[in-house]
Chains A and B, each alone.
Chain A
């Protein structure tokens, strides 16, 4: 009984004082509490771990907020989907690896259609990468930034427009102000 008092009631008392909106609770284990808070239009489910260790510091406890679908607690079969709740997909996380070095730009012109880059497409450009052979790059050619394909042959590096015949190749040469500005990592093309 004393155990119960220390472990559950005291923390509960503290919680009740701090959150007057406390709605219902239940004890899942001895050292953690599952607490359901109900505000006007949202329900939070919160797990407070070991909240009895220091009752003065209730705000600093480890707090896990669990995404929560509020189902009617009916007697029927529970939705099997509730086990698979995940956050929304955030494309930024997947398309942008190095945030400060990544720029998003828009393409103008049709010379790169052979490699799948069309007029008006969005390019994700990472300035921190070094290009591989046949990478698509943004390059500075005679004081203009342009989209090109990067081709390496033995120790020579070229820029082409992605067409197969390589007739338009430009030799990369820092002295003539022809250099790589950034490497394209993704092409975003609208098909709708």
Chain B
């Protein structure tokens, strides 16, 4: 059967400079201006508008290095406001789900969609409709690449980014070699930095050359994943859409501090806070943790103050998601691994061995568990209703001097009643 009508069609929907677009949504003053968004603690540049890219500001560049260009060109700088980005990401994904296609949410700003039930001719039009709907409903501009495989849809998306319409379909194009020739090897999905070096050493500089290499050679020299990439470039689907989210196996909360932390008291507050965060996260997915790890470290770049890094794991007697217990365990670990006289830069908490908490009872469970569970539920509900850390443990502290630096935050949150965007009536 030569049914070219209904071949497999995968679309990659990617939000353009997502964090910048989010900041622009309620702030039209920066719509056509250069904008950058900084990572936690205002460390590095993690999102750039096209105008900022044109100024030569690089992705991942430390803020202080780019400061000269930023000041000279009046670039607008924002600290990351993840609750806003998270809410807008959810809105984009929910809008995509309206199109009744299988969808894989790949990251905060990317999703794969299966458009196989549209014909070859109409699929590009469908792509444009998706793009327009997302733009109209959420205000976030996207680029859409459509092709036979996931890897090719990434390539198509790359091309779409540079087009005015924002949509590119490689469906129905017989020979895509001339397109693949222009795609550099390090831009191919699934080819990382090490693999790029290796391929270049062997004379493979673009996607077309990889496509034409024999499978046996790739498998022999690298691994089966790389040969899958090559197969996908040939238009043979090897990587499926993962439409169901797999339950997480661990949950990490770790942050760098806004300023170096030296005394135990402050470090304990920070660790307790991360613990509360992590416990709340796993409770919301109704999971329980089997063990907990705490780690601390000083800055690896300030060796003259002495470098120290340590971590320790302990198991809970019974798998738990109870904040009080996790904080207790974490503090006892911290007492073990804390050394005086260091300037700590980062700490983190990791809950591991997660499993479902489907109300299992065991020999050791008691009346008290029920009470604690309902206490946790009330804490979560209160915090959901009146904003984060309305109710918290005393060990988590009040002042939070170690908290993240976010000097340029827009302080808007579309999902928080107390930080709603303000619009003037004039």
Contacts of A128 in B (CB 8 A): 136-137
B370 close to chain A: CB less than 8 A: yes
Residue of B nearest to A39 (CB): B370
B424: which of A103, A122, A140, A144 is its contact (CB, 8 Å)?
A144
Q: Which residues of A contact B95 (CB under 8 A)?
A: 100-101
Q: Which residue of A lies closest to B135 (CB)?
A: A127
- List B contacts of A110 (CB < 8 A): 425
Q: List chain A residues, Cβ under 8 A from B72.
A: none
Partner of B426, one of A100, A103, A138, A146: A146
- Is B139 engaged at the interface, CB distance under 8 Å to the other chain? yes
Q: Which residues of chain B are near A105, meaning CB under 8 Å?
A: 420-423
Contact flags A95-120 to B (C-beta < 8 A → 1, else 0): 00011110111111111100001010
Contact with A along B408-424 (1 / 0, CB 8 A): 00000010010011111
Question: Are the C-beta atoms of A147 and B423 separated by less than 8 Å?
Answer: yes
A107-B425, A122-B420 are contacts. A127–B28 as well, Cβ < 8 Å?
no
Question: Do A103 and B137 contact each other (CB < 8 Å), given the known contacts A109-B426, A144-B28?
Answer: no
Asked if B137 and A145 sit within 8 Å, CB to CB, the answer is: no
Contact B424 A147 (CB under 8 A): yes
Q: Which residue of B lies closest to A147 (CB)?
A: B425
B29 adjacent to chain A (CB < 8 Å): yes
Q: Determine the chain A residues whose CB is within 8 A of the CB of B98 once the complex forms.
A: 100
CB of A86 closer than 8 Å to a CB of B: no
Mark interface residues in B82-102 (1 if CB within 8 Å of A CB, else 0).
000000001110110010000
Interchain nearest-CB distance for A115 vs B (Å): 10
Contacting pair A104 B424 (CB below 8 A): no
Chain B: how many interface residues by the 8 Å CB criterion? Answer: 24
Residues of B within 8 A of A144 (CB): 28-29, 424
Q: Is B138 an interface residue (CB 8 A)?
A: yes
Q: A109 contacts which chain B residues (CB < 8 A)? A: 424-426
Query: Measured between alpha carbons, how far is A18 from B152 in the docked complex, in Å?
Result: 50
Q: Are B421 and A127 in contact (CB under 8 A)?
A: no
- Chain A residues with CB under 8 Å of B28's CB are 140, 143-145, 177
Q: Which of B100-150 contact A (CB under 8 A)?
A: 136-139
CA distance A17 to B414 in the complex (A): 48
Residue of A nearest to B416 (CB): A104
Q: Mark B23-34, 1 if CB is under 8 A from A, else 0.
A: 000101101000
The reply to whether B29 and A138 contact each other, CB–CB distance below 8 Å, is no
1/0 contact string of B143-181 vs chain A (CB within 8 Å): 000000000000000000000000000000000000000
Residues of A124-157 at the interface with B, using a CB-CB cut-off of 8 Å, are 127-128, 138, 140, 143-147
Of the candidates B94, B136, B424, which one forms a contact with A127 in the assembled complex, judged by CB atoms under 8 Å apart?
B136
CB within 8 A of A100: which of B29, B94, B370, B424?
A: B94
In the docked arrangement, what's the CA distance between A130 and B320, Å? 50
How far apart are the CA atoms of A108 and B426 in the complex, in Å? 9
Cβ–Cβ contact A138 & B414, under 8 A:
no
Interface residues in chain A, defined as those with a beta carbon under 8 Å from any beta carbon in chain B: 40, 98-101, 103-112, 117, 119, 122-123, 127-128, 138, 140, 143-147, 161, 177, 181
A-B CB contact pairs (8 Å), 11 listed: A98-B137, A100-B94, A103-B421, A107-B425, A108-B422, A108-B424, A138-B423, A144-B29, A144-B424, A146-B423, A146-B425
